[in-house]
A and B are shown apart, each in its own frame.
Chain A
């Protein structure tokens, strides 16, 4: 019998029933919910007169819609408040643990799961948010679902899901100085396009991936969805186990030993086959930046914006429409372009390691006067850690301020919006039209590329300042 991939091992062990020519009924170990995509699911449940089937397996937080300043005050936006209130009410009624505003564990759903040891290898994890793929960094099968599916999980702890195909992306070699996990994933997406992963679940492998910290692995898995794939995962190893050990919800004592024994088996067998295999060389990757309105429109920061001549006729209208929205000329360089905003945060780069890197970079320097910078921790715990480690002080000395945890300017749903026509270097995951505010223009990049831009006020190769 041929070997199994890591993805198959985890998926297959959660199939309750396989429908012929149809989806699998998949058992879900961990369900994360937030205020935006859950209210209609709870309403549906109640309409059917059902209770939550396994309330202890669902964890709730508030992130998308919350302000990132003055969180101790009542939320001013009445619609945002009503979603947060609704979530509180639903959690109370159904006995679901909620990390609400001002709770020491509140934060972006994909930051708090790993941080609390709720995310463990071999689990199936879902959330009504496409960046659930983040949790795949631990060797779990994690993916985003819609509201109907949230209702399914609440009602039965299962969802109906067609099984994706398997892809393996191997990145071997040693990363150059100034090249981060964010650059790896932006590079991959620029190579395979924003839809190149559709229909697949990706396993990331290779020496360059293995060498990364858990935080960096999460950044990579987080953006799996940006090439269209359902999710991405990485086989757990000692780096994974060391990260998990001792966290609040991590197994303890004998349970820990048992867990480790199982987790060590969670890797693709040597003779496992994938539907698609791609290989990249770490040495080819440089600091990346996007210029367009989908995450596949990325280039090395030193490169020029493509002129579109290599595109097909059907691709051209979208390409030029995108440049028009960005008000950028084909064939021109990105370096030196003036920017207005810098946003560091989100479930892609809002973890403590990201803040450390950003802070190390700006230490002893000053923010450019014309730049508005939002530095937003991914969670309360990250915020606290940043204070304890003295990062907040360094930020303040350089002219930055640490805000409070939430999705913030990642999606322009709360108060933090980039104004019309302004350029933002952002450590988030999406540069869609209007994603950071109506008419806002987003350049996706790593935390250190964002730091370089914040200091110089223009797009700058971070290696020049290292």
Chain B
């Protein structure tokens, strides 16, 4: 299953200015019972998004019609906790293609990259600026250019470089996935097994 190619994305953003958003918040365990990958977006941030009677909570940002877009902007230490890839699936399935934060948990970052969701790690200062501008104007567009590893706040032109390892960058740009690559190493793996 190859991943979707990541081309430059320009979009409005959804601001989630909370730190330490953990995987149990992104998708609570009781929604992990499916045996296929589809439909997790419906339960993204389930307990913040809906009350006990399944009514949308009006003060949660995903329920605010002002904010939409393919870019989720979140506080420091995003995605800590479980290794459940369901967290990344839920974000992707909801329609996001990029998550911006000043710090990501390791497993979440790997999982996101493996499914074609781009984690963009920016400085605390840039993140604060981003929240500020989006809060003032929900229509603010942000451009994420993977080729040049650059994130830009379109109306002001402020931008920052972000890091990604070359291998993963190529995978995303071309829509490759790791399994094809590992299969191609088959003989090497067998040799490794025999020589250890």
Scoring B residues 48 to 69 as 1 if CB is less than 8 Å from chain A, else 0, what string do you get?
0000100000000000000000
Is the Cβ of B192 less than 8 Å from the Cβ of A16? yes
Contact of B166 among A16, A21, A47 (CB under 8 A): A21
Q: In the complex, what residue of chain A is closest to B167 when comparing beta carbons?
A: A22
Q: How many residue pairs at the A-B interface have CB separations less than 8 Å?
A: 197
B32 close to A (CB within 8 Å): yes
Task: Tell me the bound Cα distance from A16 to B181 in angstroms.
Answer: 13
B103 close to A (CB within 8 Å): yes
Contact of B34 among A47, A79, A157, A159 (CB under 8 A): A79
Q: How far is the CB of B79 from chain A (nearest CB, A)?
A: 10
Is the Cβ of A48 less than 8 Å from the Cβ of B35? no
- Chain A residues contacting B75 (CB-CB under 8 Å) are 314, 318
Known contacts A23-B165, A412-B29; is-contact A128 B83 (Cβ 8 Å): yes
Contact of B182 among A43, A160, A195 (CB under 8 A): A160
Task: Tell me the bound Cα distance from A245 to B194 in angstroms.
Answer: 27
A-B contacts besides A36-B33, A148-B179, 20 pairs, CB < 8 Å: A21-B166, A36-B84, A37-B86, A44-B179, A130-B82, A130-B83, A130-B107, A132-B83, A146-B111, A148-B111, A149-B110, A158-B185, A159-B178, A198-B77, A198-B104, A198-B105, A314-B124, A318-B19, A434-B47, A438-B30
B22 close to A (CB within 8 Å): yes
Instruction: Please provide the 4 A-B residue pairs with the shortest distance between their CB atoms, ordered closest to farther.
Output: A22-B167, A144-B83, A146-B85, A146-B111
Which residues of A are at the interface with B, using a C-beta cutoff of 8 A? 13, 16-17, 19-23, 25, 27, 36-37, 39-40, 43-44, 47-48, 50, 53, 64-65, 77, 79-80, 82-83, 86, 128-130, 132, 144-149, 151-152, 155-162, 164, 194-195, 198-199, 225, 228-230, 294, 314-315, 317-318, 321, 411-413, 420, 430, 432-435, 438-439
Is the Cβ of A318 less than 8 Å from the Cβ of B30? no
- Chain A residues contacting B97 (CB-CB under 8 Å) are none
Task: Tell me the bound Cα distance from A43 to B1 in angstroms.
Answer: 10
Is the Cβ of A156 less than 8 Å from the Cβ of B189? yes
**25 pairs, CB–CB < 8 Å, chain A vs chain B:** A13-B196, A16-B188, A21-B166, A23-B165, A23-B168, A27-B189, A40-B36, A40-B85, A83-B35, A130-B82, A144-B83, A146-B83, A146-B84, A146-B107, A148-B115, A149-B114, A155-B182, A156-B186, A160-B182, A195-B20, A195-B76, A199-B106, A228-B77, A432-B81, A438-B52
Is the Cβ of A160 less than 8 Å from the Cβ of B178? yes
Q: In the complex, what residue of chain A is closest to B33 when comparing beta carbons?
A: A79
Is the Cβ of B36 less than 8 Å from the Cβ of A39? yes
Contact of A321 among B18, B33, B81, B107 (CB under 8 A): B18
B128 close to A (CB within 8 Å): yes
Is the Cβ of A162 less than 8 Å from the Cβ of B35? no
- Chain B residues contacting A43 (CB-CB under 8 Å) are 35-37
Known contacts A19-B167, A21-B166, A230-B107; is-contact A315 B83 (Cβ 8 Å): no
Question: Chain A interface secondary structure, helix, strand, loop or mixed?
Answer: loop
Known contacts A37-B83, A317-B17; is-contact A148 B36 (Cβ 8 Å): no
Is the Cβ of A430 less than 8 Å from the Cβ of B1? no
Task: Tell me the bound Cα distance from A128 to B84 in angstroms.
Answer: 7
B141 close to A (CB within 8 Å): no
Q: In the complex, what residue of chain B is closest to A54 when comparing beta carbons?
A: B193
Q: In the complex, what residue of chain A is closest to B168 when comparing beta carbons?
A: A22
Is the Cβ of B76 less than 8 Å from the Cβ of A156? no
Is the Cβ of A318 less than 8 Å from the Cβ of B128? no
